[in-house]
Structures are given as structure tokens and as C-alpha cells.
Amino acid sequence: MNKAERVSFAMKTLDALYPEIPIPLDHKDPYTLLIAVLLSAQSTDVRVNKITPLLFEKADNPYDMVKLSVEQIREIIKPVGLSPMKSKGIHGLSKILIEKHDGEVPADFEALEELPAVGHKTASVVMSQAFGIPAFPVDTHIHRLMYRWGFSNGKNVVQTERDAKRLFPKDAWNRLHLQIIWYGREYSPARGWNIEKDIITQKIGRKSVLNKLN
């Protein structure tokens, strides 16, 4: 298989496995998604989905969020980890959304990345999942699989994102990044990897990765 054929095989397999793609983080609008994604840094979606209902019960919009103190936010979100940084970020970005954006989350990469505690990946998730604007957020699953499949060199997530955007059609980015995340969790995890279940890596995987399993 040449690279174009391998890309096509991966896309067709992912479409067959995940014709309907659930969004991992529970939310109801761009603001609650933004907060959930921020909380998910170095945590799990399962843990975040247990904590966000407690936080959103008190404040599910920036106007109510700024009424809480940073310490109050921190107490609620402690179980997801990095609570000192995340609580300051949540309070700070909520204040900026009110002051600069009329309380709305902007559908703009640059404006999102100017918000406290919001990096490129978080902005990409919000643009993709909240606004439907093509983006390719790279998490650990995507970074791992792009390397295993021979689509990127594994150097860093910046290079992985660049390679994904080059290889995959733009109108498929929003769908594919979620499909790859689910595939990585179910079929090609970092630990407890069973190559017999990982049909895509079996078919198109990088030779150096497959040789380690033999």
C-alpha cells in the first residue's frame, strides 16, 4: 500500500466502526464545552464528566462563574487535578468573556488562545466541536496512532497536527479526530495493547512498531 491507500483504509475503517461519533465531554453550549475541555487537561473525560455537573449547577455561564471566588471553584474541581491553575483560568477567562465578548465564547482561534489557561488544543476542540469549524486537535491517542500508522514521525504534537491536516481532507477533520480518539481507547491503547484487536495497525502499521511485537 502507498500512503494514499493507507490513509483511505484508515478512514474507511474508522467510518465503519464509528458512523455516529459521541463527543466525550458532556456539555450544553460553547461555554460549558470550553470549561470541560480546560478541566480535561491531564485528567480523564470520565472524571471531568463527574465534576462538571457540580460546577455547572452553581455556574454554567460566565456571569455566574465570576460570582464564585477562585477558591470556591478550586474546591469543586479538585478531583480533576491541577485545580489551582484551572480555577484561576476558569475565573479569569469568564471575566474576559464578559468584558471583551459580551459573555459569549468567540468562534476565533486567536481570541480563544488569548484566554487564560486556553492553549491551542483547547481552542481547536472548541472550534471543532462547538462551532463546526475545521480543526484537528491532537491528544495523546491521536499522537500515538499517527505514529503507529506511519502518518507522522512522533516528534511532537505540533508536527502530528501538521501531518494530519496535510494527509486528511479538511471536511473530514472534525469527524476524524474524534474517531481516532475512540479507536485509540478501544483498539490501540498505550497500555495493554492487543495487536489482534488493532485491525488498522495490523494492516498499515509502521514496520518498526510491528517488529517490536514479533
As annotated, the active-site residues are 121, 139
DSSP string, 172-204: GHHHHHHHHHHHHHHTS-SSS--TTT-HHHHHH
Q: What single-letter DSSP state applies at residue 149?
A: T
For 139-178, b/e burial (b = at least 16 CB within 10 A) is: bebbbbbbbbbbbbeeeebeebbebbeebbeeeebbbbbb
74: nearest Cα among 60, 98, 47, 54: 54
What's the distance, CA 23 to chain centroid? 10
CB-based contact 80:42 (threshold 8 Å)? no
Triad 171, 188, 152: Cα angle to 5°: 55
CB-based contact 165:173 (threshold 8 Å)? yes
CB-based contact 105:30 (threshold 8 Å)? yes
